[in-house]
Structure 1
């Protein structure tokens, strides 16, 4: 599932580097609320709701490409993006099991929240939609924080390996 999402976004090395810009990371928090609002707007503007929906989808694709790579990567946002890259390469470069377990659990929770959001949007039920958005974004943020932890663990491990072998 993780690889499918990466392939859909066409994330190459340069795009990942640009996405590590904190502005890119923090501005992505707008995507789900804007997407939900664009879908909800069908009640007000009918088929014209496709216009903001398409704009939101374009924003999701454009966001990781829009900003320059950060000059300083010593921040939560950049470390989280680099942690995601490490996580995606876990079949090639093994990572601690507790990170894999937590990532799968939080991704499942986020997916459940996304489905809940979809149900709320389908039914035009404000509270279900809001709870779904909150669950999705909360679980995704927690996942991202775990990716910061993974990045720090793996860079510390690499430094320890160099110290032992060097």
Structure 2
């Protein structure tokens, strides 16, 4: 993404409406049991929203909220992965594995229309994303303070 898009994506409305899209996405896919192919209409709307979302809100130039600092921290991470503390890299790897497992469970649950893997998978994905944002927030704050991120 371009710098302007990152600043817009750092808007808390962008972050939280992306999280709000998760249950809507799940419901859209699940609705194939009730609406058949018409489920593609709400699914397309959700996917379209996720595509335009990062640029849909006013930019944040000075991040003060937890989510804004997290997005700025994610940008720092993408620009300079090599200089990150080893502990942060380990946590981010663990969260990637957790997110992958959540995604696999979510897909299984949606294909089979089974509630427990769907809910558990979505929970793992959201939990992992929130934890990642928290790690990125700490990275951002640490870099501002010129300290080592925990």
- When normalised by structure 1's length, the TM-score is 0.83
- When normalised by structure 2's length, the TM-score is 0.92
User: C-alpha offsets along residues 14-36 of structure 1, whole Å, 9 cap, x if unaligned?
Assistant: 11000111111111111221111
The CA deviation at 1:101 is 1.2
User: C-alpha offsets along residues 135-163 of structure 1, whole Å, 9 cap, x if unaligned?
Assistant: 110111111111101111122118xxxxx
**Residue 4 of structure 1 corresponds to which residue in structure 2?**
none
**Residue 6 of structure 1 corresponds to which residue in structure 2?**
none
- Confirm whether residue 113 of structure 1 aligns to residue 105 of structure 2: no
**Residue 41 of structure 2 corresponds to which residue in structure 1?**
51
**Residue 74 of structure 1 corresponds to which residue in structure 2?**
64
- Partners of 2:99 and 2:129 lie apart in 1 by 6
**Residue 123 of structure 1 corresponds to which residue in structure 2?**
112
* Structure 2 counterparts to residues 1-166 of structure 1, below 5 A: 11-70=1-60, 72-91=62-81, 94-157=83-146
User: C-alpha offsets along residues 89-118 of structure 1, whole Å, 9 cap, x if unaligned?
Assistant: 224x61111111111111210121011011
RMSD: 1.4
The CA deviation at 1:124 is 0.5
Unaligned runs of 5+ in 1: 1-10, 159-166
3-state SS of the aligned residue for 1:134?
A: helix
The CA deviation at 1:127 is 1.5
Of the structure 1 ranges 115-124 and 63-72, higher mean CA displacement relative to structure 2 is found in: 63-72
Structure of larger gyration radius = 1
The 4+ residue runs of structure 1 with deviation greater than 4 A are none
